[in-house]
């Protein structure tokens, strides 16, 4: 799979022109962050988790993002109701198994979602991806305990078993689809000091999946845009606080030249 700057820019323009609704059932730590990032790139975010309305909300969405960061029984029920409706309507589902491996509750929920609704894209750190398929894999809270390349074999296994595109994020992001491996090497270390950056990456995967149904390409495009924006923002940031504000500004102002000048991918 060839990831080009021109193709990324084409999809950025399509997001901005179409402003697809991205329905997020996500954790309350990052609702504001994810919504602002989606607005900045040009998408239309909605954060709805009430069981009574999620199916209707899915009907107007271009993508459904499910993030298990702050679980409770009624949120889980809403996730499944929304996901079943999305499958019925052929709307792409993006799953973020936040903290899988930390507790049996969230690991089991991530596995059940994977088995029941087969997301178009799964995006997580190495520990989370490994925990979905490996009983003894552990995370450090919601942080990875290992580097992204160590989860590539497990990502292949998930993709082979379920058919989902798997995105393993880290210093290098790996996007796995069949025999194709795409490496995205954009980003900045300071991004790890801002809460919810991984969750934002998942939300952006939803925005790109809404306009590009070649889901491996959509995931790679989202991770490239995420990393490029982080690099540009970090250049003028004094620390994590200003990085976060700058990050939204860069997403909003992102240009074809930015993508061409900064893109660092293999695949």
The tens digit of pLDDT for each residue in 30-52 reads 999 999 999 999 999 999 999 99
Give the model's pLDDT for residue 2.
85
Q: How confident is the model at residue 136 (pLDDT cuts 50, 70, 90)?
A: low
Whether the predicted pLDDT of 229 surpasses 70: yes
How many angstroms separate the CA atoms of 250 and 246, rounded?
6
Give the model's pLDDT for residue 141.
45
How many angstroms separate the CA atoms of 91 and 237, rounded?
37
Which distant-in-sequence residues (6+ apart) come within 8 Å of 235 by Cβ? none
How many angstroms separate the CA atoms of 159 and 207, rounded?
21
**Helix (H/G/I), strand (E/B), else coil: 65:** strand
Boundaries of every domain in the chain: 5-266
Topology adopted by domain 5-266: 3.40.1190
The tens digit of pLDDT for each residue in 187-228 reads 999 999 999 999 999 999 999 999 999 999 999 999 999 999
Give the model's pLDDT for residue 146.
60
Give the model's pLDDT for residue 140.
45
Indicate the pairing of strand 93-96 with strand 165-169. unpaired
**Helix (H/G/I), strand (E/B), else coil: 98:** coil
Give the model's pLDDT for residue 149.
83
Contact 139/101 with Cβ under 8 angstroms? yes
Of the candidates 187, 59, 209, 231, the one whose C-alpha atom is nearest the C-alpha of residue 123 is: 209
Contact 90/119 with Cβ under 8 angstroms? no
pTM of the model: 0.94
């Amino acid at each position: 799979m060839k990831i080009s700057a021109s193709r990324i820019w084409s999809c950025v323009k399509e997001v901005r022109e179409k402003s697809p609704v991205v329905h997020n059932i996500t954790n309350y730590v990052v609702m504001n962050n994810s919504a602002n990032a989606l607005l900045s790139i040009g998408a239309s975010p909605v954060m709805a988790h009430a069981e009574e309305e999620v199916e209707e909300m899915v009907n107007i969405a271009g993508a459904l993002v499910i993030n298990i960061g702050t679980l409770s029984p009624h949120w889980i029920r809403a996730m499944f109701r929304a996901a079943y409706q999305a499958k019925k309507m052929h709307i792409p589902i993006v799953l973020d198994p936040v903290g899988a491996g930390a507790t049996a509750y969230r690991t089991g929920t991530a596995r059940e979602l994977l088995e029941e609704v087969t997301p178009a894209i799964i995006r997580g750190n190495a520990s989370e991806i490994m925990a979905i398929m490996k009983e003894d894999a552990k995370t450090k809270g919601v942080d990875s305990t290992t580097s992204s390349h160590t989860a590539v074999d497990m990502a292949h296994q998930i993709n082979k078993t379920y058919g989902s595109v798997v995105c393993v994020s880290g210093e290098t992001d790996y996007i796995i689809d069949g025999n194709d491996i795409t490496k995205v090497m954009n980003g900045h270390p300071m991004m790890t000091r801002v809460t919810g950056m991984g969750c934002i990456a998942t939300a952006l995967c939803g925005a790109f999946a809404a306009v590009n149904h070649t889901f491996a390409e959509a995931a790679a495009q989202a991770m490239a845009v995420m990393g490029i924006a982080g690099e540009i923002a970090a250049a003028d940031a004094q620390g994590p606080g200003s990085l976060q504000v700058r990050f939204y500004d860069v997403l909003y102002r992102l240009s074809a030249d930015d993508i061409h000048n900064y893109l660092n991918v293999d695949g």
